[in-house]
Chain A
Amino acid sequence: MTAEQIIFLLVAFFTLGSGFMVVTTRNLIHAALWLIATLFGVAVIFALLDAGFLAVVQVVVYIGAIAILFIFAVMLTRKDMRDQGPQMNRNWWFGALISVLTFGGLYFLLQGWNGLSKTAADIPSGFDAVGELGNALVSPNAYVLPFEVASVLLVAALVGAVYVAFNWK
Chain B
Amino acid sequence: MDFLQDPLKIAADWLLGIFTGWGMPEIAAQVLIGFLGVLILLSALMVLDIFLVWVERKVVSRFQDRIGPNRVGPFGLIQPLADIIKLLIKEDTTPEGADRVVYNIAPLLSMMSVLILWAIVPLAPTMLGVDLNVGALYLIAAGAIGTLSIIMAGWASNNKYALIGAFRQVAVMVSFEIPMLTVLLIPTIFAGSMGMSAITQNQDIWYVWITPLGALIFLIAAIAELGRAPFDMGEAESELVSGYNIEYSGMKFGMFYAGELLHAFTFGGFWAILFFGGYRFFGLEQVSAFLAVAVVVFKAMIGYWIIMWIKYTLLRIRIDHMLAFNWKFLTPLAFVLLMVTALLNALLADAASWFYISIMFLSNVLLGWISLEVARVYSRRQREKVEGPKVVEVAHH
Contact = CB atoms under 8 A, between A and B. Distances in A.
A36 B102 CA distance: 13
Given A52-B132, A64-B177, A68-B170, A36 B148 contact: yes
A56 B141 contact: yes
Contact of A63 (B137, B138, B148, B177): B148
A66 to B, nearest CB: 10
Nearest to B151: A71
Contact of B145 (A53, A57, A63, A130): A63
Contact of A29 (B133, B155, B174): B155
B136 to A, nearest CB: 9
Contacts of A63: 141, 144-145, 148
Contacts of A128: 133
A32 to B, nearest CB: 10
Nearest to B195: A130
Contact of B147 (A56, A57, A64): A64
Nearest to A61: B144
B133 A64 contact: no
A96 interface: no
A33 B102 contact: yes
B72 interface: no
Interface in A28-86: 29-30, 33, 36, 52-53, 56-57, 59-60, 63-65, 67-68, 71
- B-side binding surface: helix, strand, loop or mixed? helix
B145 A60 contact: no
A64 B174 CA distance: 8
A56 B137 CA distance: 6
Contacts of A123: none
B151 A60 contact: no
B152 interface: yes
Contacts of B27: 3
A124 B132 CA distance: 17
Nearest to A2: B27
B357 interface: no
A68 B147 CA distance: 9
Contacts of B140: 60, 64
A112 to B, nearest CB: 37
A36 B105 CA distance: 13
Nearest to B137: A56
Contacts of A3: 27
Interface string B129-170: 000111001101101110110011001000000000000001
B194 A67 contact: no
Contact of A68 (B133, B134, B174, B194): B174
A64 B141 contact: yes
Given A33-B152, A52-B132, A68-B147, A60 B174 contact: no
B174 A56 contact: no
Interface string B164-185: 0000001000100100000000
B138 to A, nearest CB: 6
Given A57-B137, A64-B147, 20 more contacts: A29-B155, A53-B137, A56-B134, A56-B137, A60-B141, A60-B144, A63-B141, A63-B144, A63-B145, A63-B148, A64-B140, A64-B141, A64-B144, A64-B177, A68-B147, A68-B151, A68-B170, A128-B133, A129-B133, A130-B133
Interface of A: 3, 29-30, 33, 36, 52-53, 56-57, 59-60, 63-65, 67-68, 71, 128-130
Q: Which A-B residue pairs are the 5 nearest by beta carbons? A: A64-B144, A59-B141, A56-B137, A56-B134, A60-B141
